[in-house]
Amino acid sequence: MSSRIDKVQDLLHKEIAKLLIKDLDNPVLSSFVTISGVRVSKDLRYSEIFFTSLDKDINKVEKELNKASSYIRNILAKRIHLKRLPSLKFTYDKSFSSSNKIESILENLTKHD
């Protein structure tokens, strides 16, 4: 992957994380969502933002984030100076819940030994 794409991904990650904490007025999103990663397409037109959440209703959080994506993109356009700001699609990061399941299984195995 090129260093330009890496830099854009890092920049989007930092700015979206800050924006969720400071600028969104949605209580569902501001306190329970963490941005875990960003993947940007090679042509910088599309981005997939991975998040984790403490909220049990992940579908509701994902729907709220995607509903707010145009607003988030608007704010990003004012803060980040890129020739082309990618469209934003939020996706729940399943690797976080998978790692928790594996960890709990391993913990149960060590308790039984």
pTM exceeding the 0.75 threshold for the entire prediction: yes
Domain boundaries in the chain?
3-112
Any idea which residue has 């994902």 for tokens?
Answer: 62
DSSP label of 108:
H
Q: 3-112, which class in CATH? A: alpha beta
Beta bridge partners of 39: 48
- How confident is the model over 70-84, as pLDDT tens digits? 999 999 999 998 888
3-state secondary structure 28-82: HHHCCEEEEEEEECCCCCEEEEEEEECCCCHHHHHHHHHHCHHHHHHHHHHHCCC
- How confident is the model over 55-66, as pLDDT tens digits? 788 888 899 999
Average pLDDT of every residue of the chain? 86
Any idea which residue has 């981005």 for tokens?
Answer: 47
